[in-house]
Structure 1
Amino acid sequence: MSPDRRRFLSHSTCFAATALGLSGGAWPAAGPAAQGPLRRAIPGTRDTLPVIGMGTSDTFNVGTEAAERAPLAQVLALLLQTPGSVIDTAPSYGSAEAVTGDLLQGAHARAKVFLATKISASAGSPAQAQWTQSLRDLHSDSVDLLQVHNLIDWRDNLRFLRQLKEQGKTRYIGITHYREDAHDALIQIVRAERLDFVQLNYSLAERNAERTLLPLCQERGMAVLVNRPFQDGRLFRAVKDRPLPPLAAELDCASWGQLFLKFIVSHPAVTAAIPATSKPKNMQDNLGAGFGRMPDAGQRAQIAALLA
């Protein structure tokens, strides 16, 4: 285990233990390991993102009860140890956008994250109304990344996003999808449009993006966020009761989850992966994938062979 990762795990355990008391005050300063995780540049800029961020689909769709939100506060506390980490949400994720906004506001932490959300309404008045509500829910007057969700009315909604970018309401714009059958459409849009980000599905179980989409994003200078990195748990079911291979130790991986994530973020086109979880233990494990040695091409092939 690398020294940076060892310090991170030690520090994060203490940090998570105090997370429930943070809602009324300032966040503690991040420890020395906050500078340790691998970061990737957003193409064409000086901005960088930690390679492990967080999604909120399903996991942050909870009510207002303290017991429901307590573990999410701990999850967020762990993420906040690494400045500028991605939090990706959407108005179509039930209450997730509002919960994200409430937790960030309670922690005085909006400026400490790279906040991403989406437009998932029809173009025109519905999209404009949705955006207004998103800002209310997020307790913010802007976001870092605004995306057209699942290509809904993507031409007109992209125009809307560009207007918002010109107005300083979002720093970056992009498009998203979560299924491989949408990759051809994503490819055509990436070829034709100037975008800052593309969010797509990519994992050991879904590698179609490697053929054309990921290389094209890299060629076109577009950052890539990866959703469904565990394919909704399918990967964990595939390795249930299997011991970690020796390769895991070579790559400073303490779990299958870290091995799966390192396969993703070691692809040169990938900027960050955004696994979603409501469990602090899993969040801590996910974040550990940003530390230590990353697989080279040969080791990536060895990882892929584990599920062949």
Structure 2
Amino acid sequence: MGRLIAVVLFVAVMVPSGLLAREWSRAADRRAVAGGAVELVPPSDAGAAVLARQARHGRRLRQSGLVLGLVLIGVSVVLFAEASVFLWAPALVVGALAGVLLAEASRTRPRWATGPRRPRRGEQVSPWLLWAMRGAVVGELAAAALLWSAGSVPDQVALVALVVPGAGWVLAEVALLRLVVRPLAADGSDVPVDEALRTWGAHLVCGAASVLAMVPLGALLLVAGVDLGDRVTDGVDLIPVALVAGGFSAITAGLAVAVFLVRWLRPVRHSAPALAG
């Protein structure tokens, strides 16, 4: 009976990752609609210039993120010595995600006329994705602090687990705030471009911050579950099972978000109008 309960609990804890992947699938549909709208109406000269400038800006910052990843590899060698051989790939991923967040948080203001209306948050990104990102970051920071205070993780690991997701969260919130406070474009031909840029940016920062939080959260939960599983207890202790299941769920969710994030890295482009001719 204990094994059956453990299996049911494991499956139940894995459900959130599936629901999150479903929400990101819906976000991909929103992305397709926003991109299709750009193809229907030719933007003004200012709008076309904004698209080209934003694409160059994003590409430049993301390349800088890869350079940052190489720097982080050197930092990992200093902090973790021989163990850093397993951290090269994560360091490059962290650098790449940092480049994505920096690119979106430092976007230049579009040089077109703006109207009086400001966008609503729900027009850019699903509240479920936004709050899932925030919840993952808060959970990861709490787990890192608790495990650090309990002595379950070394100081260097705890420092990285606190700084990287926390910094990513700050950059994501800055980028999201900038998308809300900037008024919408006034020229009707530039409105689809403006909305597409906001949709791309909101989902990029939510996705990048989510990956930076969910994968470390999963690793921390696995560590906590394994530590508790080593204790000798009477009867069935479901807490280690729940922690291990939660760890796998968080890692799976983070990898699923990463798959969707890669698809969103392509900048907003405009070709010939779809209805031309």
Give the TM-score normalised by structure 1: 0.24
Q: Between Structure 1 and Structure 2, which shows a larger proportion of helix residues?
A: 2
- Scaled by the length of structure 2, the TM-score of the pair is 0.26
Which has more radius of gyration? 2
- Which structure's relative contact order is higher, taking Cα pairs within 8 Å and 6+ residues apart? 2
Larger strand proportion, structure 1 or 2? 1
